[in-house]
Amino acid sequence: MKNSELDQILKSARVPERPPTYWEQFHTRVQAKAHWLQARQKAYEAQPLSGAKALVRRLRLSMAGLGLAGVLMVALAPMVLSTRDHRITDSQVAVAR
């Protein structure tokens, strides 16, 4: 099936009819759902963390910090190491002898 055929089929389909009571109650249902979600979020935020949950959260944060530090070390190491000149010149060898 080509895209044009699919578009034609989709455009020919009718939008499902809703009963009048659906639209009369729509805004009430949306407001009730929003209120329910807000109340649920507030209850979740007010709930104290248990020992295990707090430990898991700290562990995740510390692992994220260690990961970021590791990425920075790997990214900056070539720049730091390339600025050093480790070659010994002939005059330094002569002084060392």
Q: In the predicted model, what is the mean pLDDT of residues 67-77?
A: 93
Least confident of 22-26, 30-34, 63-67, 88-92: 88-92
Domain residue extents for the chain: 3-84
Average pLDDT, the chain: 88
SS3 track for the chain: CCHHHHHHHHHHCCCCCCCHHHHHHHHHHHHHHHHHHHHHHHHHHHCCCCHHHHHHHHHHHHHHHHHHHHHHHHHHHHHHHHCCCCCCCHHHHHHHC
pLDDT digits (tens, 9 = 90+) for 18-58: 998 998 999 999 999 999 999 998 888 887 777 888 888 88
